[in-house]
């Protein structure tokens, strides 16, 4: 039977009239259902109100100008070997299962992104329990910038373009912060802008424009007598034409983890000043690497003012981590055009294997590895103290050693990398929540031929607060989970290096447990105790949850050519930079 268009046009008009009558009489401040209660619609067309009365950064004459910049290297060296496994064509059933997992990760991201967009747009972080926001990294919309390339990777291009429009309005010339953390600004903001620019093949020039803007500001932190940066930069002094000094207690990672971002910016702009800035740090680290109390490594704290190392603590964990992570990665980004990073990595690995690696005792005696901390007094008395401490931050190490084994042609160390990755998976699996804590201590296996726990130790200890420790875990000083990415980072990298689908299964267990324990109405929240399946949540969702953790979970269930490791190198905040030369096949 034919139905005339008029016959259902009339009811439609009536419905529209009723809707208008209802919503045009809403009380002041009310919004119709599904209306977005956020600022992003306004800022898509109009800039935010100006921040009056603040000190602003402007380019100025340097106190200690450079007369001759160190250029990017151009000498040819041997090609970098291929990194990624040669994945076979997958079956339809394998693809169905993989895509199903991938979609679950994407839904988790969309949930958290909506919470940020609706409640904390252009702020640094969402408070996932209350729906508020926090200013943590100078107030420059850290979560927005940090998440740009994740939006691209997940195919959320409408959301990405909204975010790119908002980036234009971020004012990098001023902040409420008295000091600017150069490391965090570098990896999150500069890295986020460059990663999104590279991943979209330069189609959004505003991203490079804003990258230069933030880089030119923090470049001011290098204007010191020895050109070492003031890592917690007193930026208003520099803006006022006053001198600054690097710190006598500078965190190693904050000094040694600026390479990738500044190098990539020099590659994209052909301006050598950025590479010059970080190359002076690298030359200092290389020159001093064999002169510390643990030759091949640097202590936790550096006297960047006097270029000295007095700290007796050595670790590959927090406050040191990305300095070592960047050794093979900078080699990749430079296309292998210098042997400097190969030399530094070789020296580091010798020290790591000699001093810090250990095998723990477990129920089944499995062959896994961890890296402890070491306190070393003057080498003359030869006293070394190993602390069998492991932390979630250290889980990056398996991926780093795996990459190093490939790019520096050290195939015998791929097994070490796998044992480190398996150690992190084990630390997830043995916890009642299926999530690894922030810090734990392990039981060292001194006889590597037999690492099974004794019968008396197989029940696990009970702590003073009545919590039972998993067998093999000696203590858990910090039981929180802060939504960190390092474990899934290395699981992802090892999967891309080996093609072992058991790693995808481990990642899926990790994701399901994290999603279950951390999901809130507004996003995802850190939890206070991974030993408690009913752990309270914390009103805390750092930008790396969207920038790193969910990105790595998504990528491990993606087709292997998405962010191919032979084409991109990922910075310590998981931002992909294009490698300038193709890997050899």
Q: Which residues are catalytic?
A: 184, 321, 438, 486
Tell me the β-bridge partners of 312. none
Q: Which two tokens stand for residue 581?
A: 């030369």
Neighbours of 292 (CB within 10 A): 17
Is 250 annotated to bind a ligand? Reply is no
Phi, psi of 435 (to 5 degrees): -130, 135
Contact 230, 221 (CB under 8 A): yes
Q: Which of 351, 251, 340 is nearest to 293 (CA)?
A: 351
Strand order, beta sheet including 384-387: 313-314, 373-376, 384-387
**Cα 403-408-412 angle, rounded to 5 deg:** 80
Contact 180, 218 (CB under 8 A): yes
Q: Which of 381, 229, 278, 324 is nearest to 70 (CA)?
A: 278
Contact 452, 363 (CB under 8 A): yes
Neighbours of 261 (CB within 10 A): 32
Contact 572, 547 (CB under 8 A): no
Contact 283, 73 (CB under 8 A): no
Crossing angle between the packed helical segments 502-518 and 414-429, to the nearest 10 degrees: 40
Secondary structure of residue 484 in the 3-state scheme: coil
List all residues 6 or more positions away from 219 whose beta carbon is below 8 Å from its beta carbon. Answer: 273, 274, 277
Contact 417, 427 (CB under 8 A): no
Return the half-sphere exposure (C-beta side, CA atoms, 13 A cut-off) of residue 416. Answer: 22
CA separation for the pair 511, 517 (Å, rounded): 10
142-179 burial, b at 16+ Cβ within 10 Å, e below that, comes to bbbbbbbbbbbbbebeebbebbbebbeebbbbbbebee
CA separation for the pair 214, 190 (Å, rounded): 7
C-alpha of 414 from chain center: 22
Contact 87, 520 (CB under 8 A): no
Phi, psi of 499 (to 5 degrees): 75, 10
CA separation for the pair 524, 113 (Å, rounded): 10
C-alpha of 139 from chain center: 19
List residues forming the annotated binding site for Ca(2+): 572
């Amino acid at each position: 039977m034919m139905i005339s268009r008029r016959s259902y046009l009339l009811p439609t008009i009536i419905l529209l009239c009723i809707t208008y009558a209802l919503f045009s009489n809403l009380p002041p401040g009310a919004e119709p259902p599904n209306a977005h209660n956020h600022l992003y619609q306004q800022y898509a067309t109009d800039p935010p109100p100006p921040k009056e009365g603040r000190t602003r950064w402007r380019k100025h004459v340097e106190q200690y100008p450079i007369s001759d910049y160190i250029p990017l290297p151009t000498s040819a060296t041997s090609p970098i070997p291929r990194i990624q496994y040669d994945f076979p064509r997958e079956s339809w059933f394998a693809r169905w299962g993989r895509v199903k997992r991938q979609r679950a990760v994407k839904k988790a991201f969309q949930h958290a992104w909506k919470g940020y967009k609706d409640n904390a747009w252009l702020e640094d972080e969402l408070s996932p329990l209350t729906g508020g926001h926090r200013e943590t990294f100078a107030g420059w919309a850290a979560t927005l910038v940090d998440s740009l390339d994740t939006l691209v990777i997940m195919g959320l291009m409408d959301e990405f373009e909204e975010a790119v429009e908002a980036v234009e309005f971020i004012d990098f010339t001023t902040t409420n912060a008295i000091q600017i953390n150069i490391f965090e600004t570098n990896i999150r903001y500069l890295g986020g802008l460059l990663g999104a620019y590279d991943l979209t093949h330069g189609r959004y020039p505003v991203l490079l424009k804003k990258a230069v803007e933030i880089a030119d500001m923090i470049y001011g932190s290098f204007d010191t007598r020895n050109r070492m940066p003031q890592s917690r930069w007193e930026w208003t002094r520099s803006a006022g034409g006053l001198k600054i000094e690097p710190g006598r207690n500078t965190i190693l990672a904050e000094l040694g983890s600026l390479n990738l971002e500044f190098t990539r910016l020099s590659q994209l702009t052909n301006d050598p000043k950025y590479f010059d800035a970080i190359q002076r740090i690298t030359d200092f680290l290389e020159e001093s690497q064999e002169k510390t109390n643990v030759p091949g490594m640097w202590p936790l704290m550096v006297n960047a003012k006097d270029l000295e190392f007095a700290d007796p603590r050595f670790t590959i964990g927090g406050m040191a981590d990305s300095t070592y992570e960047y050794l093979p990665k900078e080699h990749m980004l430079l296309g292998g055009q210098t042997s400097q990073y190969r030399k530094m990595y070789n020296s580091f690995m010798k020290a790591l294997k000699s001093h810090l690696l250990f095998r723990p005792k477990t129920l089944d005696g499995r062959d896994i590895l961890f890296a402890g901390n070491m306190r070393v007094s003057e080498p003359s008395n030869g006293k070394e103290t190993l602390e069998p401490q492991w932390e979630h931050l250290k889980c990056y190490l398996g991926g780093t050693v795996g990459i190093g084994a490939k790019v520096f042609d050290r195939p015998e160390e791929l097994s070490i990398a796998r044992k480190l990755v398996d150690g992190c998976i084990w630390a997830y699996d043995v916890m009642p929540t299926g999530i690894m804590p922030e810090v734990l201590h392990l039981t060292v296996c001194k006889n590597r031929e037999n690492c099974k726990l004794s019968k008396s130790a197989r029940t696990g200890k009970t702590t003073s607060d009545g919590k039972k420790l998993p067998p093999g875990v000696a203590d858990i000083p910090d039981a929180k989970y802060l939504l960190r990415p390092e474990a899934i980072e290395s699981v992802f990298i090892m999967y891309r290096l080996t093609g072992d689908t058991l790693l995808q299964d481990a990642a899926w267990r990790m994701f399901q447990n994290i999603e279950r324990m951390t999901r809130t109405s507004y996003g995802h929240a850190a939890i206070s105790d991974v030993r408690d399946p009913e752990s309270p949540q914390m009103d805390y969702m750092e930008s790396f949850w969207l920038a790193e953790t969910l990105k790595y979970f998504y990528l491990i269930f993606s087709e292997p050519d998405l962010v191919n490791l032979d084409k991109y190198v990922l910075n310590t905040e998981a931002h992909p930079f294009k490698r300038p030369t193709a890997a050899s096949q």
